[in-house]
Amino acid sequence: MAQNYLDEFVSVLGSYKTEKELKSFVQAILTPKELEEIPKRLQIVKLLKKQIPQREIAAKLKVGVATVTRGSREIHKGGFKDIK
């Protein structure tokens, strides 16, 4: 069931034609805390790919080391290939 919800969510995200429309949807559906935390996940991945140490990333972005480690694990599993 949860996978169906994720599939639908991704489909809705992909249906927006402009960045402005997509941004409006994301701002409406996410809480202020989610809007702060989720973009940090992308920054974590980008910094990891630049070989920045995990503890340094955690301190810089004010996130837990476990959050950074999760990003690192996903990279090692082959995720985020298109992120530079």
pLDDT (tens digit, 9 = 90+) per residue, 22-81?
999 999 999 999 999 999 999 999 999 999 999 999 999 999 999 999 999 999 999 999
Closest CA to 74 of 40, 37, 48: 48
Mean per-residue pLDDT, 8-21: 96
Nearest-angstrom CA–CA distance, 83 and 75 = 10
Contacts of 65 (CB under 8 A, 6+ apart): 54, 55, 58
Do 48 and 19 share a domain, yes or no? no
Q: With bands split at pLDDT 50, 70 and 90, how would you rate the model's confidence at 3?
A: confident
Do 71 and 83 share a domain, yes or no? yes
Do 4 and 37 share a domain, yes or no? no
DSSP 18: S
Q: Strand locations in 13-80, DSSP E?
A: none
Q: In the prediction, which pLDDT does 1 show?
A: 63
Structural domain count, the chain: 2
- pLDDT score of 2 more than 90: no
The whole domain housing 55 covers 31-84
Q: In the prediction, which pLDDT does 19 show?
A: 97
